[in-house]
Structure 1
Amino acid sequence: MNVNFAERAHNHNWKLDPIVRSLLDTDFYKLLMLQFIWKNFPAVQVTSEVVNRTVEVRLAERVDVAALIDQMEHVRGLRFRRSEMVWLAGNTFYATRSIFEPGFLEWLEKDFKLSRYEVLEDDGQLVLRFSGLWTEVTMWEVYALAIVSELKTRSALGQLSELELDVLYARAKTRLWDKIERLRKVEGLQLSDFGTRRRHSFLWQEYCVQAMRVSLNQNGDERFTGTSNTALAYKHDLEAIGTNAHELPMALAAMASEGSDEQLRASQYKVLELWQRSYGGSLLIMLPDTFGTTQFLQGAPDWVADWTGQRIDSKDPVVAGDEYIGWLMQRGRDPRGKRLIASDGLDVEDIVRLHEYFRGRIRFSAGWGTLLTNDFRGCHPRGEDTLGPISLVCKLMTVEGRPAVKLSDNARKATGPASEIERYRQVFGSGAEVGAAVVV
């Protein structure tokens, strides 16, 4: 953990300092979803696109396009290493050995490749667009976001002297320690790292993960449960954390959108049926807010209540958690045996508050993301804000030529053509509730 960040940042003077050094440097859920797509939709064509929701930050002015392309091409040239494949094949994930099928692992090692891409500029923003087979496009999400995020970091660091870099990281380490100190006092805490996609850098994420593990897991108390970053889980013998994301219901809805309204509405449950055929146990965590949580729960088949838990995304976690608990009780299930995961823009104050609020009512855990691995706010030695986190996302745009839509519980996060968003709102009955401002 003794990393000289100032010297490391100051010496970016070789031809290519890779940001992504392994194809395992991605969120674990992407691998689970890739196997799901490979098994169920191997011939489906999609497009996806990186979007900067923090529009006041003009990324095209902060990220060098040539460096971006170099980094993207480097990732395209990577292959899964034999030792990584052995680990994926033999390790236990979520108390399940051989979670990845032999046929999938053989394909992953021999035939997996990343799709073609475009890098464009539009009114000061970078546009990264990916197109091809869904199996070739889906993995770009985390690689691309991590690359853009770290190139933004490197651009800002390149303006600082080595002494200023030393001051910057000293302040960031102090901030991280202050956060950890507060978390150490919380009994029964369950916390994991979700910070890959918008991290300050890979090395900083690794430092944060190691600091959390050393500080929170003492005397048999395992408060830090693992990391979503598969490479870090592999390297440091940690639990790999993650299940699924909005991409799946968005894709199945797009494929159903030319059918009846009922087929479109039912697509959100078809995802769960297919997922349940591939995975079980702790991997049965639903993410119901793609088209609105309330309508999802109201129309869900009874068997959905047997799933292990729910991840909250854009809804107020208190409101969403209470809604889920009430729904479980109406369905005759005991919420105390279920898992509730919050992960959207959390910081220490939110984690502590939510842990206390749900204590004894449901098994609450927190996925701590950007404000763990990229919180340099107020740390800049010149008082500038060039290192602040931004809300960078990569979303499906089309599936088999049809628009992909996400409504979300926060209308600020809705994606898709306006006409399609309106149609989906009518079909799903989801109100356009404007939630909290999107920070990360």
Structure 2
Amino acid sequence: MINSILDNDFYKFTMQHAVIKLFPKARAKYRFINRGEHMFPPGFASALQEAIAELAKLQLTNREKDFFATTCPYIDPTYFDFLQGYRYDPTEVRIEQNGGELHIAIEGYWYRTILWEVPIMSLICELYYELTSQVRQGDDEVAEKARQKIMRYKQLGITIAEFGTRRRHSYTAHRLVVQALQAAGEGTFIGTSNVHMAMLNQTKPIGTHAHEWFMFHAAKYGFKMANLLGLEHWSDVYRGDLGIALSDTYTTDVFFTQFDKKLTKLFDGVRHDSGDPLEFADKAIAHYQQNGIDPRSKTIIFSDGLDVEKVTRIAEYCRGRIGISFGIGTNFTNDVGLPPMNIVIKMVEAYPEEAHWTPVIKLSDKPGKHTGDENMIALAKQILEIP
């Protein structure tokens, strides 16, 4: 199911590198959220625990280390030495099953636990389909679907990255999809969020940071400083590389008030991950224009639940107004003739150095995607003056 420590999203490694440099004593807690209310079969927790125990055997090989270091020269060499010595510790993960309900909690130093989210979600999906005896379409059909999609994207004259590790049907389906995209998508397919798949297909790992980066900053510095200091610290580590800023941890409107002129000029663009994409495009364009910047010199990465129809609508709306690119996840890696799972694992508490356990939250542009402690959500809305 997972046979490489690099079978994970790139932004987990880039954040881990930054956490080691800036917050090595911070601790974190994560929790599994079953948005789709899937019912898990008897014995699922035991099977998942066994699969997680197997992850402890993974280690970075010399070949993987050479690929990663050569591809990402902006990451310190010391980090790759650290990663070669890193081992997953299954004692950081607690799993319980009550009937069809699954409960997962992760706790430990943030620099260690940050790598758990993506592989655990991948394992949950693959085991769920296997243990519920759901059979996907054949290899040829899965690959052909991906090929047809990338050909349609090629006709739009846009660039596409694959972002589907977390909710993929299986490792095999994921590999088939990336191979098909790479083979048919020259000039359109620009890479994958999965570092292992990038190495296998000699393409580029794509990503920057995730919501948890800003959620931790809110716990340490407060909601009003979370976006600004999160991006300042990111630029301190990467010095202009990895320059796409995630915009919706505390709503887009709040983000743009904290995305000051320095950061607006420094970062290459922004990522859209919730809410209406066309409204977001208008807000981003207006923000750049207000700061005397040609929006066409910047890029929006759209990554929220995309399919061919949605991408087409966004591309036609934005063409000639601002740079655009797209990160497509589940519609690539779990379009196999079965209903995809709707699950997430989110940071729920953070323990900054010399502080205490603090609930962390996310206020996306889609209210149904708010996550975290209800009292803290109410407090954040009050502080940030969100209706």
User: Which bracket does the TM-score occupy, shorter chain normalised?
Assistant: over 0.9
Alignment check: 8 A CA contact 1:193 1:228 kept:
yes
- Report how far residue 153 of structure 1 moved: 2.0
- Report how far residue 288 of structure 1 moved: 1.6
* Structure 2: gaps (5+ residues): 352-356
Match of 1:103 among 78, 94, 116: 78
Alignment check: 8 A CA contact 2:227 2:258 kept:
no
Match of 1:179 among 149, 159, 162: 149
Query: For this pair of structures, how many residues does the alignment match?
Result: 380
Q: Establish whether residue 198 from structure 1 lines up as the match of residue 167 from structure 2.
A: yes
**Residues 62, 419 of structure 1: alpha-carbon distance in 2 compared, 3 angstrom cutoff:** same
Secondary structure in 2 aligned to 1:364? strand
Q: In 2, distance between residues paired with 1:111 and 1:169?
A: 34
Q: Establish whether residue 348 from structure 1 lines up as the match of residue 303 from structure 2.
A: no
Q: In 1, distance between residues paired with 2:100 and 2:165?
A: 25
Identity %: 32
Q: Establish whether residue 374 from structure 1 lines up as the match of residue 349 from structure 2.
A: no
Secondary structure in 1 aligned to 2:66? helix
Secondary structure in 1 aligned to 2:32? strand
Q: Which residue of 2 aligns with 1:88?
A: 68
Alignment check: 8 A CA contact 2:300 2:324 kept:
yes
Q: In 1, distance between residues paired with 2:47 and 2:343?
A: 18
Greater alpha carbon shift after TM alignment, 98-107 vs 310-319: 98-107
Aligned-pair RMSD on alpha carbons? 1.9
- Report how far residue 360 of structure 1 moved: 1.2
- Report how far residue 308 of structure 1 moved: 0.6
Alignment check: 8 A CA contact 2:146 2:181 kept:
no
Match of 1:130 among 96, 106, 111: 106
Q: Which residue of 2 aligns with 1:247?
A: 212
Secondary structure in 1 aligned to 2:17? helix
Q: In 2, distance between residues paired with 1:70 and 1:270?
A: 40
Larger Cα Rg: Structure 1 or Structure 2?
1
Secondary structure in 2 aligned to 1:80? coil
- Report how far residue 168 of structure 1 moved: 5.2
Match of 1:68 among 31, 36, 48: 48
Matches within 5 A, 1:260-299: 263-299=222-258
Amino acid at match of 2:365: D
Match of 1:120 among 96, 99, 108: 96
- Report how far residue 327 of structure 1 moved: 0.5
Amino acid at match of 1:235: L
Q: Establish whether residue 20 from structure 1 lines up as the match of residue 2 from structure 2.
A: yes
Secondary structure in 1 aligned to 2:117? helix
**Residues 299, 29 of structure 1: alpha-carbon distance in 2 compared, 3 angstrom cutoff:** closer
**Residues 172, 112 of structure 1: alpha-carbon distance in 2 compared, 3 angstrom cutoff:** closer
Match of 1:312 among 250, 272, 282: 272
Amino acid at match of 1:421: I
Cα deviation, 1:254-288, whole Å, max 9, x if unaligned, reads: 223xxxxxx43112211111100111445111112
Amino acid at match of 1:128: I
Match of 1:215 among 157, 181, 184: 184
TM-score by length of 2: 0.93
Q: Which residue of 1 aligns with 2:368?
A: 412
Secondary structure in 2 aligned to 1:421? helix
**Residues 119, 295 of structure 1: alpha-carbon distance in 2 compared, 3 angstrom cutoff:** same
